[in-house]
């Protein structure tokens, strides 16, 4: 189902972005090839007709010479070698220049025919190479789609394998477990111990109620405390968070690496599918992780708007950190 949606959306995206110019250029090339082929066929047929005319011209010249000779001297078979020699000299002297000129013409005609054939062969080879390249590109795109969906399924399997239990005896798995991990480790009152001796009581309450604090120094202290809470969460939940996070970042980097094979609209479509598969907790975890990512990974997140749907309506810490996320601007 996802793959069908992906392909159709890709077609729509390409239709309104890169494809129009490609179609125009392709149409021009096809028209040029068709015109070249028609011109080549026209000249080939013309040269064959010219060759036939030369042949019949020589035949007519030879018959005319015989008729001229017979009309002047009579057409009787000679009895002596001298008479045959005179007759041969007459025909040779009359026809040799004509045959010589015709031979040169036919040689030139043959050279032009060979040139046309070579040109047609080169065009056919070029068209065959172009068709082969299109086929190879189609195969590479299909392989890209297969790897993308297999990798995405692997990531989803890693998320579904997340399992956690809490002191109240309840167990959670999959995206539900990630949501509980977020609530348990990254929301009040669980994070209060991380903020100990960092913020005044007024700033602490203001942070969780209005996502603001009283001063720039307090803002920096709050940011440091939240990031420390995230690092502690990763340490405590290492078994649950490491594989999914690494798989997701690896998938995004792999898509971005396909710089010469996959058109940009198709990459954007892949990231739209990724965003549609991320829960609120996954987006929030990726958001917190962005403070420790490489410049390239951050650029990927920004270019493809991975955190476009970052939820901020229920978590004051996320709202506060979003105002501090200058690296994602």
pLDDT tens track for 225-243 = 999 999 999 999 999 999 9
Residue 23 is predicted with a pLDDT of 57
Q: Read off the pTM.
A: 0.64
Chain centroid to CA 86: 80
Please tell me the predicted confidence (pLDDT) of residue 12.
42
Considering only residues 95 and 161, tell me which one the structure prediction assigns the higher pLDDT.
Answer: 161
Average pLDDT over residues 245-257: 94
> Cα 296 vs. chain centroid, distance in angstroms?
21
DSSP state of 80: S
Give the model's confidence band at 178: pLDDT under 50 very low, under 70 low, under 90 confident, else very high.
Answer: very high
pLDDT beyond 50 at 14: no
Q: What number is the average pLDDT over the span 249-261?
A: 87
pLDDT at 115: 79
Q: Which percentage of the chain shows pLDDT scores above 90?
A: 39
Residue 93 pLDDT grade (very low, low, confident, very high; cuts 50, 70, 90): confident
Q: Is the pLDDT of residue 320 over 70?
A: yes
Q: How confident is the model at residue 3 (pLDDT cuts 50, 70, 90)?
A: very low
Q: Which residue has the higher pLDDT, 201 or 302?
A: 302
Check pLDDT > 60 for residue 255: yes
Q: Look at residue 22 in the predicted model and tell me its pLDDT.
A: 54
Tokens of 165: 């239990």
Element holding 72 (H helix, E strand): helix 19-73
Task: Please compute the mean of the pLDDT values over residues 195-215 and round it to a whole number.
Answer: 88
Q: How confident is the model at residue 195 (pLDDT cuts 50, 70, 90)?
A: confident
Average pLDDT over every residue of 77-98: 69
Task: Say whether the peptide bond before residue 268 is cis (omega within 30 degrees of 0).
Answer: no
For residue 133, pLDDT beyond 80: no
Size of the chain, expressed as the number of residues it contains: 329
pLDDT of res. 126:
75
Closest to 89 measured CA to CA, from 74, 75, 69, 70 = 69
pLDDT tens-place string over residues 30-81: 656 566 566 666 666 766 676 677 777 777 777 776 677 666 666 665 667 6
- Angle subtended by helix axes 280-289 and 238-257, to nearest 10: 80
Distance, CA of 312 to CA of 325 (rounded, Å): 13
190 — pLDDT class (breaks 50, 70, 90):
confident
Provide the strand spans (E) within the chain.
163-165, 171-173
Please state, in angstroms and rounded to a whole number, the distance separating the CA atoms of residues 153 and 316. 32
What whole-number distance in Å separates Cα of residue 99 and Cα of residue 57? 10
For residues 260-281, give the mean pLDDT. 89
């Amino acid at each position: 189902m996802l793959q069908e949606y992906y392909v159709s959306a890709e077609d729509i995206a390409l239709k309104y972005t890169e494809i129009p110019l490609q179609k125009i250029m392709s149409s021009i090339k096809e028209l040029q090839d068709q015109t070249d082929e028609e011109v080549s066929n026209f000249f080939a047929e013309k040269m064959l007709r010219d060759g036939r005319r030369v042949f019949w011209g020589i035949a007519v010249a030879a018959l005319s010479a015989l008729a001229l000779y017979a009309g002047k001297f009579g057409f009787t078979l000679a009895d002596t070698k001298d008479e045959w020699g005179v007759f041969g000299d007459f025909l040779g002297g009359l026809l040799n220049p004509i045959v010589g000129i015709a031979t040169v013409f036919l040689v030139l005609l043959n050279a032009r025919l060979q040139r046309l054939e070579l040109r047609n062969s080169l065009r056919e080879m070029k068209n065959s190479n172009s068709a082969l390249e299109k086929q190879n590109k189609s195969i590479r795109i299909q392989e890209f789609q297969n790897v993308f969906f297999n990798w995405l399924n692997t990531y989803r399997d890693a998320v579904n394998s997340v399992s956690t239990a809490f002191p109240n005896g309840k167990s959670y798995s999959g995206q539900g477990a990630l949501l509980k991990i977020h609530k348990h480790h990254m929301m009040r009152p669980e994070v209060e111990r991380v903020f100990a001796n960092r913020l005044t009581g007024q700033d602490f309450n203001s942070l969780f109620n209005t996502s603001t604090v009283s001063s720039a120094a307090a803002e920096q202290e709050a940011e440091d405390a939240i990031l420390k809470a995230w690092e502690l969460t990763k340490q405590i939940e290492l078994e649950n968070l490491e594989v999914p996070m690494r798989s997701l970042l690896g998938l995004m980097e792999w898509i971005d690496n396909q710089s010469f094979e996959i058109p940009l609209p198709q990459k954007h479509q892949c990231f739209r599918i990724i965003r549609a598969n991320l829960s609120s907790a996954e987006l929030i975890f990726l958001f917190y992780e962005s403070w420790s990512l490489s410049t390239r990974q951050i650029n990927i997140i920004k270019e493809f708007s991975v955190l476009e749907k970052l939820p901020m309506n229920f978590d004051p810490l996320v709202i506060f950190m979003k105002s501090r996320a200058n690296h994602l601007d």
